[in-house]
Structure 1
Amino acid sequence: MSALVTLAAAGPSPLWYATRAGGTVALVLLTATVALGIAVGGRYEPRRLARFEVSALHRNLSVLTLVFLALHIVTALLDTFVHLGWLATVVPFVSSYRPLWVGLGTVAFDLLLAIALTSAVRLRLGQRRWKAVHWLAYGAWPVAVFHAAGTGTDTRLAQQLALYAGCLALVVGALWWRLYHAGPGRVAARLWAGVTAAAVPVVLAAFMNSGPLQPGWAHRAGGTAPVATVGGRPAPTPADDGEAPHD
């Protein structure tokens, strides 16, 4: 009976589920925000929606992304299974738990925070400077995807892999849509965007096959958290390879 109680206590806490849910929803919302910004930007004019409606939807998606990202960060900090520390939320690569992959999440957060802060002073900053900072959102997306894949202990699940594939397909599809409607001119920029759209899926697939989908990833990722024991043996968790049930 005591072993069963210990085993139950060793399972993931509600904070773990909240962290995973917050991070997953934030990634989906960020994907939708980036895809929408790519698809309707430039010269393309949507036929059934006014430009201000698209802008309002884009802005609301951005705000929701930050809300769920905040939930993801706060619950991760409150969950004591892995001690991240507040410094790791703003300074990349200082976490003792999977420093590279947690650090990528910090980089994505810092980029999105810069966009939010500059948007608040957009009129004073000027359109050109604000737009330059706004482009950081496009860089934050792939960084966030690699953070999720490298840090998430449920990356091997079929549902999670399908979600990553869906996010990737949406952004790449939006980029090809943008290129299709771009019109003549700016050949170098269009060529660079096309190469990027083709390369990102290949790089991500190669990383997944050689990293998170292979046995021993918890050890190679670095900073594996301590595993609870039952009767002197490791207690099973939702993760493989003795990984901590944490993102």
Structure 2
Amino acid sequence: MSASRLRAALRPALPAVVLLFLAVATQAGAPRRALDFLDFGAGVLALVSLTGTVLWGLAATDRLLLHSGHRLVAQAVHRGTGVAGLGFLALHIGVKIARDRTSGTAAVVPFTDDSRPLLIGLGTLAGYLFLAAAVTGAVRGAFTSRRGSRWWRVLHMGAYVAWCAALVHGLKSGRAAAGWVTTGYMLCVAGAAVVLVLRIRAPRRTQVPHSPPPNAHSGRPRGADRAARHSRGVRP
């Protein structure tokens, strides 16, 4: 039997195999275990992804070590980790609401949670700031004016505030974090601090010198040049 005929014969059986796999997985408790993992892990994955977004965003502005091609790669990774972080963030919020860890109102309105308004509110606020940074980054072309560029910078820089709020939210709002999680968070803080210090201390771009005015190096005074043009009938 040829390969094409074999694929044609097995194609009708594929849905049955998928349904059988899902039935066995459900019977074995896989959905509950997946929710247990996401209940704890989705927020960690969101924070790790958004930490990478912050780090790669800082790296994309470097002009001391990176060339233009490297900065383009850094910007692409910055956008990719940002999209992944927002996806994990949405999953994190959905799982927490589904398991009654918080309410839908507290997930939308900051600082309205009944039991932990401050810590849950920091997470909600961080989500809004990250979303604002992502949206303004996607529509960067709409902020081309000088005033718009300033607003874009303010909104995009809100990601740093969001990241700090997300760190506090992740460490304190849920169950006690394992040692490796706390260590990972501290490494994220250290990495972002190092990259930010390098970004601040990087030398500014050198200004391109203006071209010298006419007759700056002609060796003759300007008055002599003006008199010569007048004698030739050329208007200055």
- TM-score, normalisation: structure 2: 0.65
> Are the aligned partners of 1:16 and 1:76 in contact in 2 as well (CA < 8 Å)?
no
> Are the aligned partners of 2:49 and 2:84 in contact in 1 as well (CA < 8 Å)?
yes
The count of aligned residue pairs is 171
Compared with structure 1, are the counterparts of its residues 180 and 121 closer, same or farther at alpha carbon in structure 2 (3 Å cutoff)? closer
Residue 171 (structure 1) aligned to one of 189, 192, 201: 192
Residue 160 (structure 1) aligned to one of 181, 186, 209: 181
> Are the aligned partners of 2:60 and 2:72 in contact in 1 as well (CA < 8 Å)?
no
> Are the aligned partners of 2:119 and 2:173 in contact in 1 as well (CA < 8 Å)?
yes
Compared with structure 1, are the counterparts of its residues 108 and 43 closer, same or farther at alpha carbon in structure 2 (3 Å cutoff)? same
Deviation at 1:166, TM superposition (A): 1.2
Q: Of Structure 1 and Structure 2, which has the larger fraction of its residues in helix? A: 2
Residue 68 (structure 1) aligned to one of 88, 99, 108: 88
Q: For residues 1-247 of structure 1, what are the structure 2 equivalents within 5 Å?
A: 14-41=34-61, 43-47=63-67, 49-80=69-100, 82=101, 84-126=102-144, 128=149, 129-155=151-177, 157-183=178-204
> Are the aligned partners of 2:61 and 2:71 in contact in 1 as well (CA < 8 Å)?
no
Give ranges in structure 1 of 5+ residues lacking alignment.
1-11, 186-247
Compared with structure 1, are the counterparts of its residues 20 and 179 closer, same or farther at alpha carbon in structure 2 (3 Å cutoff)? same
> Are the aligned partners of 2:47 and 2:167 in contact in 1 as well (CA < 8 Å)?
yes
Aligned-CA RMSD value: 2.4
Moved more, 137-146 or 123-132: 123-132
Provide the identity percentage: 35
- TM-score, normalisation: structure 1: 0.62
Choose 1 or 2 for highest CA Rg.
2
| Runs of 4+ deviating beyond 2 Å | 12-17, 42-45, 47-51, 116-127, 129-132, 179-185
Q: Distance in 1 between matches of 2:201 and 2:134?
A: 30
Query: Residues 174-219 of structure 1: CA distance to partner in whole angstroms, max 9, x if unpaired?
Result: 122223424599xxxxxxxxxxxxxxxxxxxxxxxxxxxxxxxxxx
> Are the aligned partners of 1:23 and 1:69 in contact in 2 as well (CA < 8 Å)?
yes
Q: Residue 145 of structure 1 aligns to which amino acid in structure 2?
A: L
Of structures 1 and 2, the one scoring higher in RCO (CA 8 A, sep 6+) is 1
> Are the aligned partners of 1:44 and 1:181 in contact in 2 as well (CA < 8 Å)?
yes
Counterpart in the other structure of 1:3: none
Deviation at 1:120, TM superposition (A): 4.0
Deviation at 1:49, TM superposition (A): 4.5
Query: Residues 131-189 of structure 1: CA distance to partner in whole angstroms, max 9, x if unpaired?
Result: 3211111111111101111112132x21121111111111111122223424599xxxx
Q: Residue 77 of structure 1 aligns to which amino acid in structure 2?
A: I
